[in-house]
Amino acid sequence: MTSRALAAVEAALGRGAEADDVLRETVTALADDPRVSWAGIAFVEEGALQLGPEAGQPDEPRRLHVPVVFEGGLVGELQVHGDPDLGELAEIASLIAPYVLIGWDTGGEPWKP
């Protein structure tokens, strides 16, 4: 995977894009990479992962799961089909964590991105 996906995520964050836009742009940028066929973001809801935004064509046998953690708690998962750079995926997961939190069941607790 090139750093193009990472750059797209950083650009969305730099523009101050809304959480939904950041997450949609993230999966689109990942799916546009030639080594990735599909990307999705799942949110932790009531103790289970629920798929949110996704882009590309699924290739189930090649699915990778990268946890999305916010302040020590699992709030979601970045899922990718293909052969991406795992270090970049981890960095992207870290960058989008506050935005994934919006889709997470916070149990009424306030949060700040």
* pLDDT at position 60: 86
Class of domain 4-101: alpha beta
Closest Cα partner for 39 from 61, 24, 17, 19? 24
Find the mean pLDDT for residues 81-95. 94
Q: Is pLDDT at 64 greater than 80 in this prediction? A: yes
- Cβ(66)–Cβ(85) below 8 Å: no
Read out DSSP for 23-54? HHHHHHHHHHSTTEEEEEEEEEETTEEEEEEE
Give the residue from 23, 27, 38 showing the smallest Cα distance to 83: 38
Q: Is the pLDDT of residue 111 over 80?
A: no
Q: Which residue has the tokens 């994934």?
A: 100
What are the extents of the domains in the chain?
4-101
